[in-house]
Amino acid sequence: MAIDLDAVMAEVRERVQAKRASGAYGPDVDAALRAPLPGGPAALIDDLHDPLGSLAGLLAQPVEYDLRSRKRYVGRAITAARRVVIGLVRWWINAISERQERVNRLVAAALQEQSARPAPQFDARLARLEREFQERKGAEVAANLHSVYFAARFSGDEPVIRAQSERFLELFQGRRRVLDLGSGRGTFLELARDHGIGAYGVDLDHRMVEEARSRGFECVESDALAHLRSLEQGSVDGLYARHIAEHVLPGELVDLLRECRRVLAAGAPVVMLTPNVATLTVGAHTFWLDPSHRRPIPPELFRFYLEVEGFREVDVRSFEPSELRLSEDVPEGAQLDNVRLLNETLFGMRDYAVIGRQP
Amino acid sequence: MSNHVFALERQLRAWGHEPFSYAIEAKPGVTGVQPYRRLFRTAAAGDLLVLHFSMGHEVFDQLVKLPGRKVLVYHNVTPPEFFAGINPHAAAFAQLGRSQLRSLAGTVDLAVGVSEYNRRELEEAGFERTATVPILIDWDAYDVPADEGVLAAWSAATTKLLFVGRISPNKRHDDLIRMLTYYRACIDPEAQLLLVGSYRDQPQYHARVASLARELGLAAAVTFTGSVPLPHLVAYYATASAFVSLSEHEGFGVPLLEAMRFRLPVVAYDAAAVGETVGGAGILLARKDLAEAAEACALTIERPPLRRALIEAGERRIAELATDLVAARTREVFAL
């Protein structure tokens, strides 16, 4: 039988705790376990565990030296000789030891000062910096905003979301385990189910997860990156992420793509939707309607991210035309060309998807 | 260490060599050892000189100048910080031993650590050719009947925690005594601590440890046997409930293996070479927590399956370090 040392030690710790709780292992036993070795100074090895504390005690101690020799026959003579020698060099030794004592005390005081001084300020400053960092992180995405009111005013219509997701369903046809990152209420999951695609979702928002679950969908409450990291290599055969990329920082997006590539099975597709900031009314205006959007991602850059992370057959598809457009009812020629150019630049497609495949 | 030297001597004789043991100062009662001075008259170019190093001594500087092939066997030198504050004399010798080890690098043909821990120290000290060979133990020598007197004296005691080793600050007998307070308060109020080992070299530490036991009200619960003859040692192993080591410095730790030989479960603080000597055949404590050490001992006594597993693992460990296996390794490394 092999010995499971971890299990044995876990039981040992449990027993110690139980005895603490029951009072059997009280302060008296504690004191005994730390009892100093009587009859002289502590061993240096023990002093080294608390050098500063030991130093303070040591400086206060007198130096003891027993000049008596216990040797048989010659002991008395040795003792007498030692006494004479010590008497002769006493003032010289005193001078040396006085100087050394002064050095010791100064060094000890300097060390004490160094170790005591920065600590309180350091802790307070560190605490302030941590607080400010958290506040800043929150402020960057307006974490203090009442999200319910925000969602009521700005969040997309279910039918619109459904129609958007429908465009990409054919890519997942026949797949058995597709992961929807940021699955929300489960719109994509519902579509997948209707089309016989096996899918489950991940969302950070507890209420969204509850809602998706109440509709009978498998949904994990987790951060997307953390969830991806928990998955085995090649364990999902499709990834869908609608409006996730613009909520993370560029480095996080790269991490996310790297993890996606790892968890996707060979040949499996990844589809990521994000606002098309190449359209200026999006890039300059509607993108910023959501304060939790971190960075606009131009389509060329997103394509590059996928290519450089090793995805194959990378493609960008834009969709969702702007409602407002300049009339193209103008004479052909330069005027029409100009209007078309303006329409494309100002009122082009509002979203795009970047698509890739695990090689 | 001396048992190891005699076991090696027997092996060398069996292989057809003509071995002699020398000592600077032999323990009283030890026979078959010659004074080291004789070496300076008799050593010849074809000889192999095996130097066992465990403390500093000026004579080593002279010994390495002798003719013949020289192998240093490093049993480790206890670091001086264990002695400073308790035994200044021992601290000074430990310091000397450590610095002398460095000065011996380059003067011997091969340096052998009795553990990998020791071999690494040899490497750090500057030795170029190093190897690890465990201590050669003549297991047959332990096949002696246990002393009846010792067995009878301890037959009635309930829990008997045993540690074997010279009384020395690095072996932390003081921690064993502190641990006993917990054991008696929380596990078995009748528990006894048996400390087998000579206190000849460390009278100051022995006196201070004994007064710690008195201060903690454990004078009747702690027994210092001093140096004992083999049948007594065998009896202590036979009567004990568990072997516990809280030593903070061991170059090898023969008693850990002796305990396994006598089918005792081993609980040991993992310091220096202790972990590799135990070799997975005991409960190794990663941190020095005396309450945990006590509970670990208690588990080996209260849990028959765990006790059996530890004893079986101990027997496997002894088989790994069987006399002929280690002898063969010694022969190979020493190129005999």
A187 and A325 inside one domain: yes
Q: From chain A, pick out residues whose CB is under 8 angstroms from the CB of B84.
A: 43-45
A269 and A132 inside one domain: no
Place of tokens 């054919």: A170
- Whether A10 and chain B come into contact, CB under 8 Å, resolves to no
State residue A1's pLDDT score: 56
A177 and A96 inside one domain: no
Residue A339 within a domain: yes
A138 and A82 inside one domain: no
Q: What would the mean pLDDT of B33-40 be, rounded to a whole number?
A: 90
Q: What would the mean pLDDT of A277-291 be, rounded to a whole number?
A: 93
B85 with A39: Cβ contact below 8 A = no
State residue A52's pLDDT score: 84
Last residue of a domain, one of A105, A129, A147: A147
Q: From chain B, pick out residues whose CB is under 8 angstroms from the CB of A11.
A: 299
A218 and A266 inside one domain: yes
Q: What would the mean pLDDT of B284-296 be, rounded to a whole number?
A: 97
Residue A54 within a domain: no
**Is the model's pLDDT at A190 over the cut of 90?**
yes
**Interface test with chain B among A44, A54, A61, by most B beta carbons within 10 Å:** A44
| B307-320: pLDDT as tens digits | 999 999 999 999 99
A97 and A122 inside one domain: no
A109 and A141 inside one domain: no
Q: From chain B, pick out residues whose CB is under 8 angstroms from the CB of A54.
A: none
- HEC states along B67-133? CCEEEEEECCCCCHHHCCCCCHHHHHHHHHHHHHHHHHCCCCCEEEECCHHHHHHHHHCCCCCEEEC
B298 with A34: Cβ contact below 8 A = no
Lowest-pLDDT range, A42-46, A169-173, B248-252? A42-46
Question: Among residues of chain A, what percentage have pLDDT more than 70?
Answer: 96
Element (H, E) at B22: strand B21-23
The residues that bridge with A236 in the sheet, in sequence order, are A264
A3 with B298: Cβ contact below 8 A = no
State residue A117's pLDDT score: 72
* pTM of this structure: 0.67
From B81, B212, B289, residue closest to A44, measured CB to CB: B81
**Interface test with chain B among A4, A6, A16, by most B beta carbons within 10 Å:** A16
Q: What does the DSSP 8-state code read for residue B283?
A: E
**Is the model's pLDDT at A49 over the cut of 90?**
no
A221 and A108 inside one domain: no
B169 with A45: Cβ contact below 8 A = yes
Q: How many domains does chain A divide into?
A: 3
Q: From chain A, pick out residues whose CB is under 8 angstroms from the CB of B91.
A: 44
Residue A305 within a domain: yes
Q: Residues 124..153 of B with a Cβ closer than 8 Å to A: which?
A: none
Where does the pLDDT of residue A59 fall: very low under 50, low under 70, confident under 90, or very high at 90 and above?
confident
Closest CA to B110 of B126, B131, B124: B131
A105 and A123 inside one domain: no
Domain that holds residue A272: 155-357
A280 and A334 inside one domain: yes
Cα nearest neighbour of A21 on chain B:
B186
| A99-108: pLDDT as tens digits | 998 998 899 8
Q: What would the mean pLDDT of B102-117 be, rounded to a whole number?
A: 95
A45 with B178: Cβ contact below 8 A = no
- Give the contacts of A227 (CB within 8 A, at least 6 positions apart): A181, A202, A220
Query: How many beta carbons lie within 10 A of that of residue B277, not counting itself?
Result: 28
Q: What is this model's ipTM?
A: 0.90
CATH code, domain carrying A339: 3.40.50.150
Place of tokens 């790892």: A262
A229 and A317 inside one domain: yes
- Whether B105 and chain A come into contact, CB under 8 Å, resolves to no
State residue A112's pLDDT score: 82
Residue A307 within a domain: yes
Cα A95 to chain centroid distance, Å, stands at 59
- Whether B310 and chain A come into contact, CB under 8 Å, resolves to yes
Q: From chain B, pick out residues whose CB is under 8 angstroms from the CB of A65.
A: none
Residue A221 within a domain: yes
A111 and A130 inside one domain: no
Q: Is B253 exposed, middle or buried (0-12, 13-18, 19+ CB in 10 A)?
A: buried
The residues that bridge with B193 in the sheet, in sequence order, are B161, B222
Residue A16 within a domain: no
State residue A151's pLDDT score: 66
Residue A30 within a domain: no
Q: What does the DSSP 8-state code read for residue B135?
A: P
Residue A214 within a domain: yes
Identify the top-confidence range among A1-5, A344-348, B62-66, B263-267.
B263-267
Mean pLDDT of chain A: 90
